[in-house]
Amino acid sequence: MYRAIRGTRDILPEEMGLWHRIEDTAREVFELYGYGEMRVPIFEETTLFSRSIGKHTDIVEKEMYTFTDRSGKSLTLRPEATAGVVRAWIEHHLDQRALVGRYYYIGPMFRYERPQKGRYRQFHQIDAEIIGESHPAVDAELIEMLFFYLNRLGLKRANLMLNSIGCPRCRPGYLDKLRRQVKAKLTELCSDCQSRSERNTLRIFDCKNTNCQGIINELPAIEDHLCSECSRHFQQVQSYLRRFGIEYKVSPRLVRGLDYYTRTTFEFTYPGLGAQNAIMGGGRYDGLVALLGGKETPAIGVAIGSERLVLALKEEGISPPEAVSTFLVTVGEEAFQRGMELIRELRHQGVFCLSDYQGRSLRGQLRLANKLGCQAVLILGEDELKKGVVTLKMMSDGSQQEVALDLLPSTLRRLLYG
């Protein structure tokens, strides 16, 4: 028997209501804030990701699904979508064409990570990007929108962590200092931290090893080493957040795993999700457009983990809304044939209707309708055929009435969808 590849999962219809809720609400909310949907390819040239995410990151070093196509080109299944959106933005000259550089996209991402609850090798993200804006109010507005989105979903307990990781002017000086202090403690750190210390020092803050944590907590915080512009930007972001009444915690440890971030970084966590409790993360990437060959352009974005939102909704006991449904029970061949016409007409009139095609008995069909949780049952037998009616039974109170066939769609619409 074939099984889904480790780290991938099938999303079955029973869970799909939650996915629709997550995606529909994202569309609704993001469009209210001026974002337009963009869809970029699932695979791109490998170097697009290695250049933008950074060679010495976990994603590029260990997690990319890279393959050579039949022409010998190295391609990679996207581990994240920002690089693709920025590539598209440059390729289509959106700096000249788009009046509002706000985009969102929804789709699968691929990373060869160790699978566990909330962490998969194929997972889904909903992302929002603002390209061409540097004002700190934009950073705060993006975060504010995310809270609004979560509230709309019914997820009211998210925690926000915030940091600034500076810019190419102030970060190198801080990194030098950090490297020197890390070097002095090198032998006490785990092997992962030791290898990160030279190549990607900032990533030491990501280490979960309890032994390293004590040392990490003593390291200098970047917040105290920002240049005056970065410091002002960070202060202003916080002042807008306060204006919006948003609670947050500044966390010097929030360095994010991708190289392209500058200034504001943030992460939302949700209680009750276990080890993988980050539901979304993002930040500024003012250098990425230029790095990929475009003009110097500021930008900021967020990536939301859809699977983790589904887990959070389940954790909160929020279930998909129950679908309104009707079941047509037929008795006898003639009624079945007439029933096929009737069910077609009902569906064309916007009424959800199911039926039996296996010749079940009257009782069998009623039992099935009950199991399906149908709100209404239509019975069409010889008597009804003669009279040109159906018997409509409401499952909520067991009440029954005869309804003329031509009045059926409008009656059902009124009773069930009213």
Residues in contact with ligand AMP by the rule CB under 6 A:
80, 111, 113, 118-120, 123, 125, 257, 278-281, 303, 305, 307-308
Report how far residue 37's alpha carbon sits from residue 125's, in angstroms, rounded to the nearest whole number. Answer: 13
Nearer to ligand AMP, 284 or 393 (CB): 284
Residue 399 is encoded by which pair of tokens? 């009440």
Q: Which CB atom, from 80 or from 356, has the smaller least distance to ligand AMP?
A: 80
Nearest-approach distance from CB 3 to ligand AMP, in angstroms: 19
CB of 120 to ligand AMP, least distance (A): 4
The torsion defined by the Cα of 139, 143, 144 and 146, in degrees rounded to 10, comes to 140
- Cα dist. 209→19, 183, 190, 302, 308 in Å? 34, 18, 8, 27, 23
Structural element, H or E, at residue 330: strand 326-330
Give min distance, CB of 292 to ligand AMP, in A: 17
Nearest Cα residue to 303 out of 136, 82, 49, 120: 82
Nearer to ligand AMP, 308 or 393 (CB): 308
Structure tokens given for 139: 């950073």
What is the nearest approach in angstroms of ligand AMP to the Cβ of residue 255?
11
Specify the residue, 260 or 327, whose C-beta has the smaller distance to ligand AMP.
Answer: 260
Minimum CB separation of residue 7 from ligand AMP in Å reads 8
One-letter amino acid of 164:
S
Closest residue to ligand AMP, judged by C-beta, is 305
Burial class (CB in 10 A: 0-12, 13-18, 19+), 113: middle
d(CA 127, CA 306): 10
CB of 279 to ligand AMP, least distance (A): 5
Looking at the Cβ atoms of 193 and 258, the one nearer to ligand AMP is: 258
Residue 324 C-beta: closest distance to ligand AMP, Å:
33
> Could you tell me the smallest distance in angstroms from the CB atom of residue 337 to ligand AMP?
50
- Determine how β-strand 65-68 pairs with β-strand 36-37: unpaired
Q: How far is the CB of 57 from ligand AMP (least distance, A)?
A: 10
Sheet holding 278-284, edge to edge: 36-37, 102-110, 122-131, 299-305, 278-284, 262-269, 159-164, 249-250
Of 222 and 280, nearer to ligand AMP (C-beta) is 280
> With contact defined as beta carbons under 8 Å apart, do 372 and 354 qualify?
yes
Q: Give the neighbor-by-neighbor strand order of the sheet with 65-68.
A: 43-45, 74-77, 65-68
Residue among 80 and 286 whose Cβ is closer to ligand AMP: 80
Q: Considering the complex, state which of residue 23 and residue 345 has its C-beta at the smaller distance from ligand AMP.
A: 23
Nearer to ligand AMP, 300 or 335 (CB): 300
The CB density around residue 97, as the number of other CB atoms within 10 Å, is 9
C-beta atoms surrounding 105 within 10 Å? 23
How far CA 270 is from CA of 16, 79, 130, 160, 213, in Å, comes to 21, 23, 24, 9, 22
